[in-house]
Protein backbone atom coordinates (compact mmCIF):
# COMPACT_ATOMS: atom_id res chain seq x y z
CA UNK A 1 0.00 0.00 0.00
CA UNK A 2 2.85 2.37 0.85
CA UNK A 3 4.55 1.86 -2.49
CA UNK A 4 1.30 2.42 -4.28
CA UNK A 5 0.92 5.86 -2.68
CA UNK A 6 4.50 6.81 -3.56
CA UNK A 7 4.04 5.89 -7.21
CA UNK A 8 0.80 7.85 -7.54
CA UNK A 9 2.28 10.97 -5.91
CA UNK A 10 5.35 10.77 -8.18
CA UNK A 11 3.23 10.49 -11.31
CA UNK A 12 1.07 13.45 -10.32
CA UNK A 13 4.14 15.55 -9.47
CA UNK A 14 5.75 14.69 -12.80
CA UNK A 15 2.65 15.71 -14.70
CA UNK A 16 2.44 19.01 -12.79
CA UNK A 17 6.12 19.72 -13.47
CA UNK A 18 5.71 19.04 -17.19
CA UNK A 19 2.68 21.30 -17.40
CA UNK A 20 4.47 24.13 -15.54
CA UNK A 21 7.53 23.96 -17.79
CA UNK A 22 5.37 23.91 -20.92
CA UNK A 23 3.41 26.97 -19.79
CA UNK A 24 6.64 28.83 -18.97
CA UNK A 25 8.03 28.05 -22.41
CA UNK A 26 4.87 29.30 -24.09
CA UNK A 27 4.97 32.61 -22.17
CA UNK A 28 8.60 33.37 -23.13
CA UNK A 29 8.82 35.81 -26.20
CA UNK A 30 10.36 34.40 -29.28
CA UNK A 31 13.73 35.85 -30.34
CA UNK A 32 13.63 37.45 -33.79
CA UNK A 33 16.85 37.68 -35.66
CA UNK A 34 17.28 41.05 -37.40
CA UNK A 35 18.69 41.17 -40.92
CA UNK A 36 22.36 42.11 -40.99
CA UNK A 37 21.78 45.44 -42.76
CA UNK A 38 18.96 46.46 -40.40
CA UNK A 39 21.04 45.53 -37.37
CA UNK A 40 23.88 47.74 -38.61
CA UNK A 41 21.49 50.64 -39.29
CA UNK A 42 19.93 50.37 -35.83
CA UNK A 43 23.35 50.48 -34.25
CA UNK A 44 24.81 53.30 -36.34
CA UNK A 45 22.07 55.96 -36.56
CA UNK A 46 22.70 59.61 -35.60
CA UNK A 47 23.06 60.25 -31.90
CA UNK A 48 22.98 63.70 -30.27
CA UNK A 49 25.09 63.82 -27.12
CA UNK A 50 23.39 66.26 -24.71
CA UNK A 51 26.43 66.61 -22.46
CA UNK A 52 28.95 67.47 -25.17
CA UNK A 53 26.62 69.25 -27.60
CA UNK A 54 27.94 67.08 -30.44
CA UNK A 55 26.10 65.18 -33.15
CA UNK A 56 27.47 61.65 -33.59
CA UNK A 57 27.20 60.18 -37.09
CA UNK A 58 28.57 57.01 -38.69
CA UNK A 59 32.04 57.37 -40.13
CA UNK A 60 30.94 55.58 -43.34
CA UNK A 61 27.53 54.49 -44.60
CA UNK A 62 26.82 50.85 -43.71
CA UNK A 63 26.82 48.39 -46.62
CA UNK A 64 23.73 46.95 -48.29
CA UNK A 65 21.58 49.91 -47.21
CA UNK A 66 21.72 52.17 -50.27
CA UNK A 67 18.98 51.13 -52.62
CA UNK A 68 18.59 52.75 -55.99
CA UNK A 69 15.53 54.98 -56.10
CA UNK A 70 15.03 55.24 -52.31
CA UNK A 71 17.07 57.86 -50.41
CA UNK A 72 18.80 56.71 -47.27
CA UNK A 73 19.64 58.48 -44.04
CA UNK A 74 22.99 59.64 -45.46
CA UNK A 75 21.60 60.83 -48.78
CA UNK A 76 19.71 64.02 -49.53
CA UNK A 77 16.08 63.56 -48.54
CA UNK A 78 16.83 60.73 -46.10
CA UNK A 79 15.40 60.76 -42.59
CA UNK A 80 16.62 59.43 -39.25
CA UNK A 81 13.67 57.74 -37.57
CA UNK A 82 15.16 57.35 -34.10
CA UNK A 83 18.07 58.36 -31.90
CA UNK A 84 20.04 56.42 -29.35
CA UNK A 85 21.75 57.53 -26.18
CA UNK A 86 24.96 55.53 -26.71
CA UNK A 87 27.39 56.11 -29.55
CA UNK A 88 28.60 53.25 -31.67
CA UNK A 89 32.35 52.62 -31.97
CA UNK A 90 31.95 53.41 -35.69
CA UNK A 91 30.71 56.91 -34.95
CA UNK A 92 32.78 60.09 -35.07
CA UNK A 93 31.82 63.44 -33.43
CA UNK A 94 31.22 66.56 -35.56
CA UNK A 95 30.38 70.05 -34.22
CA UNK A 96 26.75 71.19 -34.44
CA UNK A 97 25.47 74.79 -34.80
CA UNK A 98 26.28 75.20 -31.13
CA UNK A 99 29.65 76.44 -32.42
CA UNK A 100 29.81 80.15 -33.42
CA UNK A 101 29.06 80.85 -37.07
CA UNK A 102 31.03 83.62 -38.80
CA UNK A 103 28.95 85.48 -41.39
CA UNK A 104 30.78 87.61 -43.94
CA UNK A 105 28.87 90.88 -44.54
CA UNK A 106 27.92 91.67 -48.14
CA UNK A 107 30.07 94.22 -49.97
CA UNK A 108 28.92 97.85 -49.64
CA UNK A 109 26.37 98.93 -52.22
CA UNK A 110 27.59 101.69 -54.50
CA UNK A 111 25.35 104.49 -55.70
CA UNK A 112 23.31 103.88 -58.81
CA UNK A 113 24.81 105.04 -62.08
CA UNK A 114 22.04 106.11 -64.43
CA UNK A 115 21.98 105.61 -68.17
CA UNK A 116 22.62 108.75 -70.19
CA UNK A 117 19.63 107.92 -72.39
CA UNK A 118 17.28 108.09 -69.38
CA UNK A 119 18.19 111.66 -68.42
CA UNK A 120 17.31 114.75 -70.43
CA UNK A 121 19.19 117.94 -69.52
CA UNK A 122 17.42 121.24 -70.23
CA UNK A 123 18.14 124.86 -69.33
CA UNK A 124 20.65 126.06 -66.74
CA UNK A 125 18.97 127.24 -63.54
CA UNK A 126 21.94 128.05 -61.30
CA UNK A 127 25.52 127.31 -60.40
CA UNK A 128 28.59 128.33 -58.50
CA UNK A 129 32.16 127.39 -57.72
CA UNK A 130 31.40 123.65 -57.63
CA UNK A 131 29.36 123.25 -60.79
CA UNK A 132 26.34 124.33 -62.81
CA UNK A 133 22.78 123.16 -62.09
CA UNK A 134 20.31 122.34 -64.86
CA UNK A 135 16.65 121.45 -64.94
CA UNK A 136 16.13 118.00 -66.40
CA UNK A 137 13.91 114.96 -66.71
CA UNK A 138 14.46 111.39 -65.52
CA UNK A 139 11.92 108.70 -66.45
CA UNK A 140 9.22 111.34 -66.77
CA UNK A 141 10.03 113.06 -63.47
CA UNK A 142 11.35 116.61 -63.27
CA UNK A 143 14.82 116.61 -61.69
CA UNK A 144 17.81 118.83 -61.06
CA UNK A 145 21.13 117.84 -62.63
CA UNK A 146 24.31 119.28 -61.15
CA UNK A 147 27.36 118.94 -63.38
CA UNK A 148 30.55 118.33 -61.37
CA UNK A 149 34.06 117.09 -62.01
CA UNK A 150 34.17 114.13 -59.61
CA UNK A 151 31.84 111.58 -57.96
CA UNK A 152 32.71 112.67 -54.41
CA UNK A 153 29.36 114.33 -53.82
CA UNK A 154 27.46 111.38 -55.33
CA UNK A 155 29.23 108.95 -53.01
CA UNK A 156 28.21 111.04 -50.00
CA UNK A 157 24.61 111.61 -51.10
CA UNK A 158 24.06 107.90 -51.76
CA UNK A 159 24.45 107.26 -48.00
CA UNK A 160 21.86 109.84 -46.92
CA UNK A 161 18.07 109.55 -46.70
CA UNK A 162 16.09 112.14 -44.73
CA UNK A 163 12.98 114.26 -45.39
CA UNK A 164 15.05 117.43 -44.96
CA UNK A 165 17.89 116.35 -47.27
CA UNK A 166 17.46 116.79 -51.01
CA UNK A 167 16.71 113.32 -52.43
CA UNK A 168 19.59 111.81 -54.43
CA UNK A 169 18.40 109.73 -57.41
CA UNK A 170 21.69 108.71 -59.01
CA UNK A 171 24.60 109.91 -61.12
CA UNK A 172 25.56 109.67 -64.76
CA UNK A 173 28.68 110.09 -66.85
CA UNK A 174 28.89 113.19 -69.01
CA UNK A 175 31.51 114.49 -71.39
CA UNK A 176 34.27 115.77 -69.13
CA UNK A 177 32.43 115.21 -65.86
CA UNK A 178 29.52 113.70 -63.98
CA UNK A 179 25.91 114.62 -63.41
CA UNK A 180 24.36 114.48 -59.92
CA UNK A 181 20.62 113.84 -60.30
CA UNK A 182 18.39 114.97 -57.42
CA UNK A 183 14.74 115.84 -56.90
CA UNK A 184 13.63 119.18 -58.28
CA UNK A 185 12.25 121.65 -55.71
CA UNK A 186 10.18 124.05 -57.76
CA UNK A 187 9.96 127.14 -55.54
CA UNK A 188 13.71 127.58 -55.25
CA UNK A 189 16.17 128.48 -52.54
CA UNK A 190 15.39 130.10 -49.21
CA UNK A 191 17.49 133.04 -50.41
CA UNK A 192 14.96 133.60 -53.21
CA UNK A 193 11.92 132.96 -51.01
CA UNK A 194 13.02 135.62 -48.51
CA UNK A 195 13.07 138.13 -51.36
CA UNK A 196 9.52 137.49 -52.55
CA UNK A 197 7.75 140.88 -52.19
CA UNK A 198 4.37 139.42 -51.16
CA UNK A 199 5.76 136.78 -48.80
CA UNK A 200 3.63 136.05 -45.73
CA UNK A 201 6.23 135.45 -43.06
CA UNK A 202 4.78 135.11 -39.53
CA UNK A 203 6.91 133.93 -36.63
CA UNK A 204 5.47 130.40 -36.57
CA UNK A 205 6.40 129.91 -40.24
CA UNK A 206 9.90 131.25 -39.63
CA UNK A 207 10.31 128.75 -36.79
CA UNK A 208 8.96 125.88 -38.91
CA UNK A 209 11.48 126.53 -41.68
CA UNK A 210 14.31 126.86 -39.16
CA UNK A 211 13.28 123.62 -37.42
CA UNK A 212 13.40 121.74 -40.74
CA UNK A 213 16.93 123.01 -41.38
CA UNK A 214 17.97 121.99 -37.87
CA UNK A 215 16.54 118.49 -38.34
CA UNK A 216 18.46 118.00 -41.56
CA UNK A 217 21.70 119.08 -39.89
CA UNK A 218 20.99 116.95 -36.80
CA UNK A 219 20.62 113.93 -39.09
CA UNK A 220 24.01 114.63 -40.69
CA UNK A 221 25.72 115.19 -37.35
CA UNK A 222 24.28 111.96 -35.91
CA UNK A 223 26.35 109.84 -38.30
CA UNK A 224 29.51 108.11 -37.13
CA UNK A 225 31.71 109.90 -37.93
CA UNK A 226 29.57 113.06 -38.18
CA UNK A 227 28.89 114.47 -41.62
CA UNK A 228 29.68 118.19 -41.70
CA UNK A 229 27.81 120.11 -44.38
CA UNK A 230 30.50 122.85 -44.57
CA UNK A 231 28.39 125.25 -46.64
CA UNK A 232 25.13 125.95 -44.78
CA UNK A 233 23.57 129.12 -46.18
CA UNK A 234 20.21 130.25 -47.51
CA UNK A 235 21.13 129.57 -51.20
CA UNK A 236 21.73 125.92 -50.19
CA UNK A 237 18.34 125.56 -48.50
CA UNK A 238 15.57 124.61 -50.93
CA UNK A 239 11.94 125.41 -50.14
CA UNK A 240 8.76 124.16 -51.81
CA UNK A 241 5.38 125.92 -51.95
CA UNK A 242 4.34 124.26 -48.68
CA UNK A 243 7.42 125.73 -46.97
CA UNK A 244 8.94 122.27 -46.60
CA UNK A 245 12.69 122.66 -46.51
CA UNK A 246 15.52 120.49 -47.83
CA UNK A 247 19.30 120.94 -47.59
CA UNK A 248 21.27 120.62 -50.81
CA UNK A 249 24.98 120.59 -51.71
CA UNK A 250 25.64 118.07 -48.94
CA UNK A 251 29.10 116.61 -48.54
CA UNK A 252 31.11 119.06 -50.64
CA UNK A 253 34.83 119.12 -49.84
CA UNK A 254 35.79 122.69 -49.02
CA UNK A 255 39.13 124.22 -48.22
CA UNK A 256 38.94 126.04 -44.90
CA UNK A 257 40.63 129.15 -46.24
CA UNK A 258 38.64 129.25 -49.49
CA UNK A 259 37.08 132.72 -49.60
CA UNK A 260 35.71 132.51 -53.13
CA UNK A 261 32.26 133.95 -53.70
CA UNK A 262 29.27 131.81 -54.78
CA UNK A 263 25.87 132.71 -56.20
CA UNK A 264 24.02 135.32 -54.14
CA UNK A 265 25.88 136.16 -50.96
CA UNK A 266 29.48 135.02 -50.78
CA UNK A 267 30.30 131.99 -48.64
CA UNK A 268 32.34 134.00 -46.07
CA UNK A 269 29.15 135.56 -44.70
CA UNK A 270 28.14 132.16 -43.28
CA UNK A 271 31.54 130.64 -42.46
CA UNK A 272 32.60 130.13 -38.86
CA UNK A 273 35.74 131.82 -37.46
CA UNK A 274 37.61 128.51 -37.31
CA UNK A 275 36.91 127.81 -40.99
CA UNK A 276 37.86 131.34 -42.01
CA UNK A 277 41.11 131.04 -40.03
CA UNK A 278 41.94 127.62 -41.49
CA UNK A 279 41.75 125.87 -38.13
CA UNK A 280 40.34 122.36 -37.52
CA UNK A 281 36.55 122.32 -37.45
CA UNK A 282 33.65 119.95 -36.90
CA UNK A 283 29.84 119.93 -36.62
CA UNK A 284 29.87 123.14 -34.56
CA UNK A 285 30.96 124.98 -37.74
CA UNK A 286 27.54 124.09 -39.18
CA UNK A 287 25.91 125.39 -35.98
CA UNK A 288 27.57 128.78 -36.55
CA UNK A 289 26.35 128.89 -40.16
CA UNK A 290 22.87 127.89 -38.99
CA UNK A 291 22.85 130.91 -36.66
CA UNK A 292 23.55 133.19 -39.63
CA UNK A 293 20.70 131.55 -41.56
CA UNK A 294 18.46 132.17 -38.53
CA UNK A 295 19.45 135.83 -38.78
CA UNK A 296 18.34 135.82 -42.43
CA UNK A 297 15.03 134.17 -41.53
CA UNK A 298 14.28 136.69 -38.77
CA UNK A 299 15.38 139.85 -40.59
CA UNK A 300 15.01 138.86 -44.29
CA UNK A 301 18.35 140.58 -44.86
CA UNK A 302 21.67 139.47 -46.28
CA UNK A 303 24.28 139.09 -43.50
CA UNK A 304 26.50 142.17 -43.04
CA UNK A 305 24.49 144.15 -45.59
CA UNK A 306 22.88 147.51 -44.77
CA UNK A 307 20.55 147.40 -47.78
CA UNK A 308 17.01 146.13 -47.35
CA UNK A 309 15.94 142.78 -48.82
CA UNK A 310 14.24 144.35 -51.79
CA UNK A 311 17.53 145.91 -52.81
CA UNK A 312 19.23 142.49 -52.91
CA UNK A 313 22.53 143.80 -51.56
CA UNK A 314 25.78 142.01 -52.25
CA UNK A 315 27.24 142.01 -48.73
CA UNK A 316 30.76 142.67 -47.49
CA UNK A 317 33.97 141.68 -49.24
CA UNK A 318 35.43 138.24 -48.46
CA UNK A 319 38.91 138.98 -47.08
CA UNK A 320 37.91 142.11 -45.15
CA UNK A 321 34.93 140.33 -43.63
CA UNK A 322 37.01 137.31 -42.62
CA UNK A 323 39.48 139.49 -40.74
CA UNK A 324 36.71 141.26 -38.82
CA UNK A 325 34.85 138.03 -37.98
CA UNK A 326 37.98 136.25 -36.73
CA UNK A 327 39.85 139.10 -35.05
CA UNK A 328 37.15 141.58 -34.02
CA UNK A 329 34.23 139.26 -33.31
CA UNK A 330 32.01 140.89 -35.93
CA UNK A 331 28.54 139.37 -36.27
CA UNK A 332 25.39 140.35 -38.20
CA UNK A 333 23.42 143.05 -36.41
CA UNK A 334 20.10 141.81 -35.07
CA UNK A 335 19.35 145.40 -34.02
CA UNK A 336 15.65 145.99 -33.67
CA UNK A 337 14.60 142.76 -35.38
CA UNK A 338 11.22 141.41 -34.24
CA UNK A 339 12.72 138.41 -32.50
CA UNK A 340 11.54 136.66 -29.30
CA UNK A 341 14.14 136.78 -26.49
CA UNK A 342 14.62 133.00 -26.47
CA UNK A 343 15.28 132.92 -30.21
CA UNK A 344 17.67 135.86 -29.92
CA UNK A 345 19.61 134.03 -27.19
CA UNK A 346 19.77 130.92 -29.40
CA UNK A 347 21.22 132.92 -32.30
CA UNK A 348 23.88 134.67 -30.22
CA UNK A 349 24.88 131.40 -28.51
CA UNK A 350 25.09 129.52 -31.82
CA UNK A 351 27.49 132.03 -33.41
CA UNK A 352 29.82 132.21 -30.39
CA UNK A 353 33.51 132.45 -31.29
CA UNK A 354 34.43 129.34 -29.27
CA UNK A 355 32.89 126.21 -30.87
CA UNK A 356 32.67 124.53 -27.45
CA UNK A 357 30.27 127.24 -26.26
CA UNK A 358 27.86 126.72 -29.16
CA UNK A 359 24.88 124.42 -28.55
CA UNK A 360 24.50 121.15 -30.43
CA UNK A 361 22.14 121.50 -33.36
CA UNK A 362 19.57 119.11 -31.91
CA UNK A 363 19.29 121.35 -28.83
CA UNK A 364 17.75 124.06 -31.02
CA UNK A 365 14.85 121.91 -32.25
CA UNK A 366 12.59 122.00 -29.11
CA UNK A 367 12.57 125.80 -28.99
CA UNK A 368 11.88 126.11 -32.71
CA UNK A 369 9.07 123.54 -32.51
CA UNK A 370 7.59 125.48 -29.60
CA UNK A 371 7.66 128.72 -31.57
CA UNK A 372 6.10 126.93 -34.54
CA UNK A 373 3.22 125.79 -32.36
CA UNK A 374 4.46 122.21 -32.13
CA UNK A 375 2.58 121.16 -35.28
CA UNK A 376 2.77 121.84 -38.98
CA UNK A 377 0.19 124.44 -40.00
CA UNK A 378 0.68 124.00 -43.74
CA UNK A 379 0.81 127.26 -45.65
Active site residues per annotation? 231
- Alpha carbons within 13 angstroms on the beta-carbon side of residue 149 total 6
Q: Do the Cβ atoms of 215 and 165 come closer than 8 Å?
A: no
Q: Distance between CA atoms of 241 and 256, rounded to whole angstroms?
A: 34
Q: Distance between CA atoms of 143 and 131, rounded to whole angstroms?
A: 16
> Which 8-state DSSP code applies to residue 213?
H
Q: Which residues of 63-77 are buried (b: 16+ CB within 10 A; e: fewer)?
A: eeeeeeeeeebeeee
Long-range contacts for 295-299 (Cβ within 8 Å, ≥24 apart)? 295/332, 295/334, 295/347, 296/190, 296/191, 296/194, 296/234, 297/190, 297/194, 297/206, 297/209, 297/210, 298/206, 298/334, 298/337, 298/338, 298/339, 298/343, 298/347, 299/332, 299/334, 299/337
Query: Is the link from the previous residue into 225 a cis peptide, with omega within 30 of 0?
Result: yes
Element (H, E) at 296: helix 283-299
Closest by CA position to 65, among listed 83, 49, 41, 45:
41
Q: Distance between CA atoms of 89 and 92, rounded to whole angstroms?
A: 8
Closest by CA position to 289, among listed 274, 307, 309, 310:
274
Q: Distance between CA atoms of 359 and 371, rounded to whole angstroms?
A: 18
Region of residue 140 (left: phi > 0; alpha: psi -120 to 50; beta: else): left
**Which residues, 6+ apart, have CB-to-CB distance to 124 below 8 Å?**
132, 133, 134
Separation of first and last alpha carbons in the chain: 135
Q: Distance between CA atoms of 278 and 46, rounded to whole angstroms?
A: 71
Residues comprising the binding site for ATP?
146
| Residue 346 burial (CB count, 10 A) | 22
Amino acid sequence: MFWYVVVVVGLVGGVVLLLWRRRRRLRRPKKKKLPAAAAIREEEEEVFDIETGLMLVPATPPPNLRRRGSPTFWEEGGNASSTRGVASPLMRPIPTFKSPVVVTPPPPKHHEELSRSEVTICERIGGGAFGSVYRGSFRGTEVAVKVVGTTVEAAMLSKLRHPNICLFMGSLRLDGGYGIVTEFVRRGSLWDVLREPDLEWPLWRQAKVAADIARGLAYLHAHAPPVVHRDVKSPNVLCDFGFRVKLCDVGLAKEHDDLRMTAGCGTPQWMSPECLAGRPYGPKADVYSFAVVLYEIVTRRCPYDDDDVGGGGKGAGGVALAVQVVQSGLRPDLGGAACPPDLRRLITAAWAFDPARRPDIHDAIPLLDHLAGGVSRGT
